[in-house]
Amino acid sequence: MATIRDVSRLAGVSVATVSRVINRSGYVKEETREAVLAAMRALDYEPSVIARGLAGKNTATIALIIPDILNPFFPEVARAIEDQANKFNYTVILCNSDNDPEKERKYIQVLKNKRIDGIIIASYTIEAPQILELQREGVPVVAVDRAFGSHPILSFICNNREGARMAARHLIERGCRKIAHISGPPVMSAKERYQGYVDVCGSESRFDPGLVAEGNFTIEGGYAATLELFARHPDIDGIFAGNDLMAVGALKALYQLGKSVPRDVKIVGFDDIALARMVVPEITTVRQPVYEIGRQAMKHLIKLINGEKIGQKTMRLDVELVVRRSSGEAADRV
């Protein structure tokens, strides 16, 4: 591979000049510039990312820390980020933290050592102080699927509470009289969705705290929670699951209980992961603009990396109710 010195030699100038044309910094006479460019082209020269990294420049690499790429929510985030990164010539390091603070810490250590340019993190466990410290050390950070109150941390998250309200209202509109909620683990997005559910159903005369069960954001959890709910309230006719995985779990449980969806029970999920359209019946859900969240996160991370002064706060993206068969009219049923 050609080096900057090869280029300088061929162009008959110093390496300093070559560096200037590469970085468009300082003055370079147009003629010289062109000679250098020609030499670069002739040698098929590409500046070594590693060398410029060592010299204090960017490494054109960012890291994405997520709990687990096996969770179907994250491939969509990862893809959006990678697409956007790629467009701006960044490369993405993938880190699965399993929501383990120790693992997170270790990754961050390694990433700093590798002088990556920035981090996008989706973590239920990380707390503001840790991120603020990273920022203090000069590492740009953007969070996704998480908010940090009034801390100056840029984060992209959807409007969970409003989405949950939409889901609950939809079930009511579809005629459900007794609506249960399968909540997620005690993390921010799950709590917000629970709140939205309570906003709408909490005042109903038929409301009962027993209509809520926790499902841990997993299929198994949603399955177990549904059995639990129906054991307590056999007359539930609507379920708002805190995410699509739990909605699928609910679907399986209802199938086993001999209930028909949507005739006997209607289901609404949250997220709109691909899975929601893969099962039968397809699941009505509150669509998070996941791709957009990833895109925006990466876009803004680049701004931070470039030193742009942008507001560091929580950005709420709108959600959208996607009506499918699981909440359809009974007549819709094949």
Partner DNA sequence: TTGAAAGCGGTACCAA
Partner DNA sequence: TTGGTACCGCTTTCAA
Please choose, out of 44-52, 66-74, 83-91, 242-250, the segment that lies near DNA by the rule CB under 7 A: 44-52
Cα–Cα nearest to 324, from 295, 283, 296, 287: 283
Q: Which is nearer to DNA, 55 or 331 (CB)?
A: 55
Touching its own copies, residues 170-209 (CB under 8 A): none
Touching its own copies, residues 103-162 (CB under 8 A): 109-115
User: How far apart are the C-alpha atoms of 33 and 81, rounded to whole Å?
Assistant: 35
Q: Candidates 280, 310, 323, 330: give the one binding its own copies (CB under 8 A).
A: 280
Burial class from Cβ neighbours inside 10 Å (0-12, 13-18, 19+) for residue 324 reads buried
Q: Which is nearer to its own copies, 161 or 287 (CB)?
A: 287
**β-bridge partners, 61:** 91
The dihedral sign for the CA sequence 284, 290, 291, 292: positive
Q: Candidates 38, 42, 51, 110: give the one binding DNA (CB under 7 A).
A: 51
As a whole number of angstroms, the longest Cα–Cα distance in the chain is 85
Q: Which is nearer to its own copies, 64 or 131 (CB)?
A: 64
User: How far apart are the C-alpha atoms of 21 and 40, rounded to whole Å?
Assistant: 10
State the DSSP H helix or E strand holding residue 228, giving kind and residue range, or none if neither.
helix 219-232
Indicate which of DNA, its own copies, none lies near residue 83 (CB less than 5 to 8 Å, by partner kind): its own copies
CB of 92 to its own copies, least distance (A): 5
C-alpha atoms less than 13 angstroms from C-alpha of 283 in its C-beta half-sphere: 32
Is 96 among the residues that bind DNA (CB under 7 A)? no
Is 16 among the residues that bind its own copies (CB under 8 A)? no
Is 129 among the residues that bind DNA (CB under 7 A)? no
Indicate which of its own copies, DNA, none lies near residue 212 (CB less than 5 to 8 Å, by partner kind): none
Touching its own copies, residues 30-49 (CB under 8 A): 46, 48-49
Touching DNA, residues 54-73 (CB under 7 A): 54-57
Residue 180's alpha-carbon distances to 106, 193, 199, in angstroms, are: 40, 13, 13
3-state secondary structure of 16: helix
Please choose, out of 18-26, 31-39, 62-70, 171-179, the segment that lies near its own copies by the rule CB under 8 A: 62-70
Amino acid of residue 259: K
Is 50 among the residues that bind its own copies (CB under 8 A)? yes
Is 245 among the residues that bind DNA (CB under 7 A)? no
Cα–Cα nearest to 1, from 49, 62, 37: 49
Query: Which pair of structure tokens corresponds to residue 150?
Result: 């009034």
Q: Which is nearer to DNA, 56 or 149 (CB)?
A: 56
3-state secondary structure of 176: coil
Is 109 among the residues that bind DNA (CB under 7 A)? no
Cα–Cα nearest to 130, from 105, 154, 152, 94: 105
User: How far apart are the C-alpha atoms of 166 and 172, rounded to whole Å?
Assistant: 10
Query: Which pair of structure tokens corresponds to residue 36?
Result: 């250098």
Is 289 among the residues that bind its own copies (CB under 8 A)? no
Is 95 among the residues that bind its own copies (CB under 8 A)? yes
Count of positions on this chain that bind DNA (CB under 7 A): 35
Cα–Cα nearest to 286, from 264, 315, 318: 318
Is 227 among the residues that bind its own copies (CB under 8 A)? no
Site for DNA, rule CB under 7 A: 1-5, 12-17, 19-20, 22-23, 25-33, 45-48, 50-52, 54-57
Site for its own copies, rule CB under 8 A: 1, 46, 48-51, 53-54, 59-61, 64, 68-70, 72, 74-76, 78-79, 82-83, 86, 89, 91-96, 109-115, 219, 248, 251-252, 255-256, 258, 274-275, 278-280, 334
